[in-house]
Chain A
Amino acid sequence: MTRLVVIGAGMASGRVLEHLFDAAPGAFEVTLFNAEPRGNYNRIMLSPVLSGEKSYAEIVTHDDAWYAEHGVACRFGERVTGIDRSRKVVTSAGGEVAYDKLILATGSNPFIIPFPGHDLPGVVAYRDLEDTAAMIEAAGTPGASAVVIGGGLLGLEAAAGLRLRGMEVTVLHNTGHLMDRQLDETAGYLLKKDLENRGIRVITSANTKAIEGNGRVERVVLEDGTTLSSDIVVMAVGIRPATHLGQAAGLETGRAIKVDAQMRTSDPDIFAVGECVEFDGTLFGLVAPLYDQAKVLAKTLMGEDDAFRVKELSTKLKVTGCDLFSAGDFTAGEMREDIVYRDPARGIYKRLVIEDDRLVGAVMYGDTSDSTWFFGLIKDGTDIEEMRDTLIFGPAFQGGGGAAADPLAAVAALPPEAEICGCNGVCKGRIVEAIDGGAASLSDIRAVTKASASCGTCTGLVEQVLAVTMGDAYASPAAQPVCGCTDLTHEDVRRLIKSRELKSQPAVWQELGWTTPNGCHVCRPAINFYLLADWPLDYADDPQSRFVNERNHANIQKDGTYSVMPRMWGGITTPAELRALADAAEKYGVPTVKVTGGQRIDLLGVRKEDLPAIWYDLNQAGMVSGHAYTKGLRTVKTCVGSDWCRFGTQDSTGLGIKLEKVLWGSWTPHKVKLGVSGCPRNCAEATCKDVGIVCVESGYEIGVGGAAGMDVRETEPLAKVATEEEAIAIVTAFVQLYRESAKYLDRPYKWIGKVGLDWVRDQLADAEIRAGLIDRFEISQSVYRKDPWAEHAKPDTARRFHPLADLNVEAAE
């Protein structure tokens, strides 16, 4: 009999033993060590144990009777401390055991991030029965709360289980979306939404600062100061292969213990299996490859030929009601193409990744019924060229002719009672009736039936009903969609962002049925603006969705250098500021210093790498960004007014400075320029600005909608007020109204042309509406009224302005 010693009684080694005892009963005399004081149980079923859906007894795979039947000497709760390869013995507290063949199945250890307080009682991993028992115990206290650090597979299963046990659960995840290894942003967004619907709080981009408590966990503190009270903290941030024993024995290790395709380590009598193994540069954490390894290892031990190979893996989350599936490789590689399908109403998202006419990856959320079929296509490398156009609809649509692939045919096939508009309960028959009654356009249908008049997501469907019913007589609306990613117009998107409370870009892409994975250069800046304008406190500005000038806080010039223009409030400067500007111009070799039309001084020709430093220098002199690069408040141009001018009627300079101090830093649909003239001679050229104020003896005449670019237009009177305070209030409210309702890249005059100046006047004349606009502007400014240069001059962000690496320099070294 071969003396076989196995270190670690987990799922992989358990499977090896099953194979051996099945195929060669009596051939091996087995000694089984396990650090945990028990035998093999189905570790991946810990989630149902945690949630209370199963008991521990139900997940035991090998009980005492099984071990006894196969003559296994069980050394449970006994940690192996060393391997002596020359004498072929392993050492533990109980002495030495000799082996002919040795299997390392030491698995992995949970990774614990060493935050302050990580060693407090009440901080657990989610790895074994002890952890699970600790969590169940914590959940026993009514009203207890838990914080789960790590929004991966394991962390979310822990969170769901604890929630099912009645705890208040918060999940902290350090990247932008949950399960970022397995899911893309959209699927991550849907998952977050589902978890939140179950009462689990999810904080993404969360940076944990410390775990605190007096002798025991009491709270978790985040970097931004958020404090979460917590009776238990589950750290589920990843695992590390347990390689210590193998390493100490001198076996070849990389990130784990290296094995060949027969699961043999660098010592021919020692094998390894499971999570402690590295094969061909790959580590393993899911159960399917572990079982494959177990089968190969059993064959190897019995002297039969077999070879392990890495296969495609798929992931499913074991949380009831969260239907997600991820398989293959959808994140890396070349020559790829995506097929995206979204059904916002049902919360469904599917994305297929194709390479060389083969499916290589798939992510699905909400409907995973075809996942097995898709996974099969990935594993088999099936050529999908023939079914490419209908592939996303799943196996049911294959070989069934073209009807299903043609959306118009699909709509034509709908019965009259099929519901088209869920919001207003309008069925297809009602719309066809309306068309027979003379309705010939989308707006007619909306007026007659209310279909698509609420949330608007069925607009495309209604148009298809029109097209099918009217045939060639139907002329599609001329409304311009935002871009090729969607059929919706800017107005639709703005309305839906507000009415459906969409607060992130993935939410917009999914809920509004974007056809691309993450938008394009046309829609991204627009959506980014709409989100930050409507949800200033919830949405964080995305630099990656901004044009180069706004991302780099400077205007790029044709030679790739940038211009730097600090703010001069109301066009007023000081000798000290001028000196600082002159010094900066010399220090950074600025080739051109230009006085601008907006009464500022522009330094042109600054190298990108120098931007943070020149900003820092100008900051030191008290100057901030002039936002010459933004769709936002640019300049307030003034004349000297009653301070100096013999014709001046009011303090136009002072009002200009006050307006600029209120409005600076705010983002707007397009740039906004102001002018304040001290008398009707209008030296500040206020009457061709987006907002122009002309001071008169009796007060302030406020005009809007001027332009002096490709179009030249004079402002139209908006209001006349008696005091500076009223003037500031009206202008602030006007800017906010523009922010809230204009289409991205419409200057105020274009926007006014669409909504009508009367409507704008009416809004601002209503005291309640005006106050609301000003309040919302101030809320937004609590976030955005700050100097971006100061932020970007900090060393951490300044680094981003430098090349990542310079291979020339490194080569020289």
Chain B
Amino acid sequence: MNWIDIGAVDEIPVRGSRIVKTRDGCVAVFRTGPDEVFATSDRCPHKGGPLSEGIVHDRKVTCPLHNMVYSLETGKAQGADEGVIETYPVRVEAGRLLLDGSRFAARGAA
């Protein structure tokens, strides 16, 4: 793990999301509760919708383009839909957001 401080948790509204640019593309960081956060790929595998712009409910997000619902925990599409989004380790410590950068850095080092 290579925890990178990406900002204060308060920068994301509860049930909102912000993106982080990485060399793997945009990562969406979701805040589902005061201290509960998840990070996934920002791209819906269906038609490329920006998941960070979706409505966040429970521990799920609904893609703004065609209402595909993904679990933020497993990355799996819910209901009858199929598809998986990448998930990344992220946590809150003392009000700061820490994203595991090892998966992005690995490629940079290569």
Binding site for B on A (CB under 8 A): 175-176, 180-181, 184, 255, 331-336, 338, 516-521, 524-525, 543-548, 551-552, 556, 560, 799-800, 803-811
- Please state if A521 and B33 are interface contacts (CB–CB under 8 Å): no
Q: Assuming A543-B13, A548-B54, is B18 touching A556 (CB within 8 A)?
A: no
Q: Assuming A548-B53, A805-B7, is B58 touching A338 (CB within 8 A)?
A: yes
- Please state if A804 and B29 are interface contacts (CB–CB under 8 Å): yes
**What would 25 A/B residue contacts be, using CB atoms closer than 8 Å?**
A255-B94, A331-B34, A332-B36, A335-B74, A336-B73, A516-B58, A518-B57, A520-B55, A520-B57, A520-B58, A521-B62, A521-B67, A544-B55, A544-B56, A546-B55, A556-B50, A803-B21, A804-B6, A804-B97, A805-B6, A806-B20, A807-B21, A807-B101, A808-B22, A810-B4
B3 to chain A, nearest CB (A): 12
Query: Which 4 pairs, one residue from A and one from B, show the smallest C-beta to C-beta distance?
Result: A521-B62, A804-B18, A548-B53, A521-B55
Docked pose: A807 CA to B29 CA in angstroms: 13
B4 to chain A, nearest CB (A): 7
Partner pick for A807 among B23, B36, B64, B97, CB 8 A cutoff? B23
**Chain B residue at smallest Cβ distance from A181:** B34
Docked pose: A516 CA to B23 CA in angstroms: 36
List residues of chain A with CB within 8 A of the CB of B48.
Answer: 560
- Please state if B57 and A800 are interface contacts (CB–CB under 8 Å): no
List residues of chain A with CB within 8 A of the CB of B26.
Answer: 803
- Please state if A807 and B73 are interface contacts (CB–CB under 8 Å): no
B22 to chain A, nearest CB (A): 5
Docked pose: A176 CA to B13 CA in angstroms: 11
Partner pick for A525 among B11, B14, B20, B55, CB 8 A cutoff? B55
B81 to chain A, nearest CB (A): 13
List residues of chain A with CB within 8 A of the CB of B23.
Answer: 807-808, 811
List residues of chain B with CB within 8 A of the CB of A516.
Answer: 57-58
List residues of chain B with CB within 8 A of the CB of A806.
Answer: 20-21
Docked pose: A556 CA to B64 CA in angstroms: 9
Q: Assuming A175-B34, A556-B53, A805-B21, is B15 touching A518 (CB within 8 A)?
A: yes
Partner pick for A804 among B7, B59, B108, CB 8 A cutoff? B7
Docked pose: A121 CA to B29 CA in angstroms: 45
- Please state if B36 and A560 are interface contacts (CB–CB under 8 Å): no
Partner pick for B104 among A335, A524, A548, A807, CB 8 A cutoff? A807
List residues of chain A with CB within 8 A of the CB of B69.
Answer: 520-521
A224 to chain B, nearest CB (A): 19
Contacting A at CB under 8 A, from B33-53, are: 33-36, 38, 48, 50, 53
List residues of chain A with CB within 8 A of the CB of B104.
Answer: 807
List residues of chain A with CB within 8 A of the CB of B77.
Answer: none
B50 to chain A, nearest CB (A): 6
List residues of chain B with CB within 8 A of the CB of A803.
Answer: 18-21, 26
A809 to chain B, nearest CB (A): 8
Interface size on B, residues (CB 8 A): 47
For A521, A525, A551, which residue has the most chain B Cβ atoms within 10 angstroms?
A521
List residues of chain B with CB within 8 A of the CB of A809.
Answer: 21
List residues of chain A with CB within 8 A of the CB of B99.
Answer: 805
Docked pose: A166 CA to B19 CA in angstroms: 50
Binding site for A on B (CB under 8 A): 4, 6-7, 11-16, 18-23, 26, 29, 33-36, 38, 48, 50, 53-60, 62, 64, 67, 69, 73-74, 91-92, 94, 97, 99, 101, 104-105, 108
- Please state if B73 and A334 are interface contacts (CB–CB under 8 Å): yes
Q: Assuming A804-B12, A808-B21, is B50 touching A547 (CB within 8 A)?
A: no
Partner pick for B35 among A332, A335, A338, A524, CB 8 A cutoff? A332
**Chain A residue at smallest Cβ distance from B92:** A332
- Please state if B19 and A544 are interface contacts (CB–CB under 8 Å): no
**Chain A residue at smallest Cβ distance from B108:** A811
A761 to chain B, nearest CB (A): 37
List residues of chain B with CB within 8 A of the CB of A552.
Answer: 53
Partner pick for B57 among A333, A521, A548, A551, CB 8 A cutoff? A521
Known pairs A180-B34, A803-B19, A805-B4 / 7 extra A-B pairs, C-beta < 8 Å: A332-B33, A544-B14, A544-B16, A544-B55, A547-B64, A560-B48, A800-B13
**Chain A residue at smallest Cβ distance from B10:** A175
A12 to chain B, nearest CB (A): 24
**Chain B residue at smallest Cβ distance from A802:** B18
- Please state if A807 and B20 are interface contacts (CB–CB under 8 Å): yes
**Chain A residue at smallest Cβ distance from B53:** A548
List residues of chain A with CB within 8 A of the CB of B59.
Answer: 336
Q: Assuming A331-B36, A335-B74, A547-B64, is B22 touching A517 (CB within 8 A)?
A: no
Q: Assuming A336-B59, A516-B57, A521-B54, is B33 touching A807 (CB within 8 A)?
A: no
A16 to chain B, nearest CB (A): 29
Docked pose: A521 CA to B64 CA in angstroms: 9
Docked pose: A335 CA to B38 CA in angstroms: 11
B34 to chain A, nearest CB (A): 5
List residues of chain B with CB within 8 A of the CB of A560.
Answer: 48, 50
B49 to chain A, nearest CB (A): 8
Partner pick for A184 among B4, B7, B11, B33, CB 8 A cutoff? B33
List residues of chain A with CB within 8 A of the CB of B55.
Answer: 520-521, 524-525, 544-547
List residues of chain A with CB within 8 A of the CB of B35.
Answer: 331-332
List residues of chain B with CB within 8 A of the CB of A811.
Answer: 23, 105, 108
**Chain A residue at smallest Cβ distance from B57:** A520
Docked pose: A590 CA to B29 CA in angstroms: 29
For A181, A255, A336, A805, which residue has the most chain B Cβ atoms within 10 angstroms?
A805
List residues of chain B with CB within 8 A of the CB of A546.
Answer: 55
For B35, B74, B105, which residue has the most chain A Cβ atoms within 10 angstroms?
B35
- Please state if B4 and A807 are interface contacts (CB–CB under 8 Å): yes
Docked pose: A291 CA to B5 CA in angstroms: 35
A361 to chain B, nearest CB (A): 11
- Please state if A544 and B13 are interface contacts (CB–CB under 8 Å): yes
A381 to chain B, nearest CB (A): 20
List residues of chain A with CB within 8 A of the CB of B64.
Answer: 547-548, 556
A73 to chain B, nearest CB (A): 39
Q: Assuming A336-B73, A547-B64, A803-B18, is B53 touching A524 (CB within 8 A)?
A: no
Partner pick for A800 among B18, B50, B58, CB 8 A cutoff? B18
List residues of chain A with CB within 8 A of the CB of B53.
Answer: 548, 551-552, 556
A499 to chain B, nearest CB (A): 26
- Please state if A335 and B73 are interface contacts (CB–CB under 8 Å): yes
Docked pose: A773 CA to B67 CA in angstroms: 35
Partner pick for B58 among A333, A517, A544, CB 8 A cutoff? A517
List residues of chain B with CB within 8 A of the CB of A519.
Answer: 57
- Please state if A331 and B33 are interface contacts (CB–CB under 8 Å): yes
Partner pick for B20 among A521, A544, A556, A804, CB 8 A cutoff? A804
List residues of chain B with CB within 8 A of the CB of A333.
Answer: 36
B110 to chain A, nearest CB (A): 13
